[in-house]
Amino acid sequence: MSDVVLLPSVNKFLGRDHGHYIDGGFSAGSPTGKITVVNPADGEAIAQVSEATLGDIDHAVASANAGFKVWSKTSPAARAAVLFKLADLLERNREELAQLETCQSGKIIQISRAFEVDQAAHFLRYYAGWATKITGETITPSLPSFAGERYTAFTLREPVGVVVGIVPWNFSTMIAIWKLASALTTGCSIIIKPSEFTPLTILRIAELATEAGLPPGALNVVTGSGAAGKALIEHAGTNKVSFTGSVPTGIAVGKSAMEAKLTRSTLELGGKNSVGFLRDVDLDKAADGIIEAGFLHSGQICAAAERFFAHRSQIEPIMEKLAQRLATLKIGSPMDESTQFGPVTNKQHQQKLAGFFETARAENSTIVYGGKVIDRPGCYVEPTIILANSASDTLLNEETFGPIATFLPYDTEEELLHLMNDTPYGLSASIWTNDLSKALRLIPEIKAGTVWVNMHTLLDPAVPFGGVKASGIGREFGAAFLEDYTELKSVMIRY
Ligand code: NAD
């Protein structure tokens, strides 16, 4: 098959002189500080965006404070209506948004359509439903009366204020939607700082948000590198940061937030997620499961699995079946609808993955399949299977964020549990078995924010998501997100 033809609207958007999106419209950025956005499928520059100056950041924060005044006083039903309308607009502009996303991230077009647009709209509608369901509680105070007076108390859940949403490059649209939907449904305003690698789609979505009826300043988008994110967090006019990204940056973000002014922070960080195959597992299901767990979007998913533990008697056949499946994956242009495996998102990441292949060789791990950069324009690497020598191999311990499945055999279930938990991270894990009683006994022993059984990677807006240990602080989705975007105010009355 051949590449999908770019819509005229996509070409027109790419050709624009992009500024920041502030106060319901585009605001020209500095003429000198420009960031070039590169298509990872062929290495060609496709657009330029602005690197925010401190002046741009002051402008965005002042606008977000003004936006907050209006939006926080907007009725919950009206807030929900705007978010529902935005979800409709995402779907109406599905192909344009999906193509833009694939151009900037190299994500195969089918994933851009299904996840970055369809799933994002689904999440948005879920959050919109919360706007009308945010409540406090009434409390009977516990102390005895001194002289016959009485007391009553209640709590109010109030929006936290101006949120800074810092977004990584792997799901630049969907993750931005999680953040703006959480903020806007609770009555907060938000400034999104997208990744410098993938800043385009959210700029277009900000326009759609204005079309949906969002008042100026309720959603601003400021483009730039990490320095822009840091300046936003440290600005006296922001109240919370919701960050998704790597562990080292997350630690820096948490520090900046605390040191600035005890700014609230939610940190959704990286992982080194484990899969444990119990002995009763069907080997074909195991191999299919690994494709879902480790190779979707070339493994560039925070919840993707990178450490695979199988019983010593089964590890060879599982790796063999997996290698057979990987050999049939169609590698190619992400704009070709028949492609199943596209490039990784940027040159730096491709080089980092090449470094991991070298490390695996230097440590004498067995490269069972793949293990090389693909010699073609763009940022391609081979889907890879590695058999580690021991639990201390680098590839079993450092997050690669790429299409690399590293295996180690186990002999006993006790050893399996130890191996699955033997990591400083705890974002997600999965166990694969038909023995539900055994699965239910193992689940409490696994140290991860999400444990899947016979599945991996699928996120649902109704199910809380976040990490334990070094994988982060706080939860997105479900009712749990409310804790992070609202402050609880207690009111006590004597009568
Ligand atoms: P990154 O940490 O390099 O960058 C993330 C964002 O932080 C970018 O927008 C970047 O410009 C910004 N940033 C960099 N330095 C900053 C600073 N000092 N202050 C404020 N902002 C700063 O991450 P990445 O490479 O874009 O994304 C990949 C990482 O994200 C992986 O580790 C992955 O596991 C993680 N991730 C986690 C989740 C989750 O929900 N837990 C989801 C997706 C990705």
Summarised one tens digit per residue, pLDDT across range 346-382 is: 999 999 999 999 999 999 999 999 999 999 999 999 9
Mean pLDDT on 436-453: 97
Question: What is the band of 412 on the pLDDT scale with cuts at 50, 70, 90?
Answer: very high
Catalytic residue among 96, 302, 306, 382: 302
Overall residue count recorded for the chain in this entry: 495
> How many alpha carbons lie under 13 Å from residue 210 in its C-beta half-sphere?
16
**pLDDT given for residue 407 in this prediction:** 98
- The atom of ligand 1 lying closest to the CA of 248 is 2
The mean pLDDT value of the chain amounts to 97
167 Cα: distance to centroid of ligand 1 (angstroms):
6
pLDDT of residue 145: 93
Q: How far apart are CA 493 and CA 42, in angstroms?
A: 66
How far away, in angstroms, is 268 Cα from ligand 1 center? 9
Instruction: Determine the residue of 50, 249, 259, 269 to mutate for testing ligand 1's pocket, defined as the one with the most ligand atoms within 8 A of the Cβ atom.
Output: 249
DSSP 206-255: HHHHHHHTPPTTSEEE----HHHHHHHHHSTT--EEEEES-HHHHHHHHH
Burial 193-214 (b: 16+ CB within 10 A, else e): bbbbbbbbbbbbbbbbbbebeb
**Single-letter residue type at 153:** A
CB 261 within 8 A of CB 468: no
Q: Whose CA is nearest to atom 19 of ligand 1?
A: 230
The Cα–Cα gap between 401 and 245 comes to 11
Check whether 437 has a pLDDT greater than 90.
yes
Q: Which fold has domain 8-269+471-492?
A: Aldehyde Dehydrogenase; Chain A, domain 1 (3.40.605)
Which residue, by CA, sits nearest to atom 30 of ligand 1? 245
pLDDT over 70 percentage in the chain? 100
Centre of ligand 1 to C-alpha 335, Å, is 25
- Asked if pLDDT for residue 173 goes beyond 80, the answer is yes
Does pLDDT of 1 surpass 90? no
- Cβ(379)–Cβ(107) under 8 Å? no
Is 207 catalytic? The answer is no
Could you identify the residue written with the tokens 């207690």? Answer: 490
Q: What crossing angle do the helices spanning 94-105 and 76-92 adopt, rounded to 10°?
A: 70
Per-residue pLDDT of 6-55, as tens digits, reads: 999 999 999 999 999 999 999 997 777 899 999 999 999 999 999 999 99
Tokens of 399: 């997050």
Domain with CATH 3.40.309.10 in the chain: 273-460
- pLDDT on residue 261: 87
Model pLDDT, residue 32 = 77
Using left for φ > 0, alpha for ψ between -120 and 50, and beta otherwise, residue 478 falls in left
Tens digits of residue pLDDT in 455-468: 999 999 999 999 99
All CATH 3.40.605.10 domain ranges of the chain, comma separated, are: 8-269+471-492
pLDDT of residue 428: 98
Task: Quote the distance between the C-alpha of residue 124 and its chain's center.
Answer: 14
Q: What is the pLDDT of residues 311-327, one digit of tens each?
A: 999 999 999 999 999 99
The set of protein residues with a Cβ atom below 6 angstroms from ligand 1 is 166-170, 193, 195-196, 225-226, 229-230, 233, 244-246, 249, 252-253, 256, 268-271, 302, 399, 401, 427, 467, 472
Superfamily per CATH, domain 273-460: Aldehyde Dehydrogenase; Chain A, domain 2 (3.40.309.10)
188 as an active site residue: the answer is: no
Instruction: Please give the order of strands across the beta sheet that includes 428-432.
Output: 366-369, 384-387, 404-410, 305-311, 273-277, 428-432, 450-453
Q: How far is the CA of 477 from the centre of ligand 1 (A)?
A: 19
CA distance 332 to 276: 31
Whether the CB-CB separation of 185 and 210 falls below 8 Å is answered with no
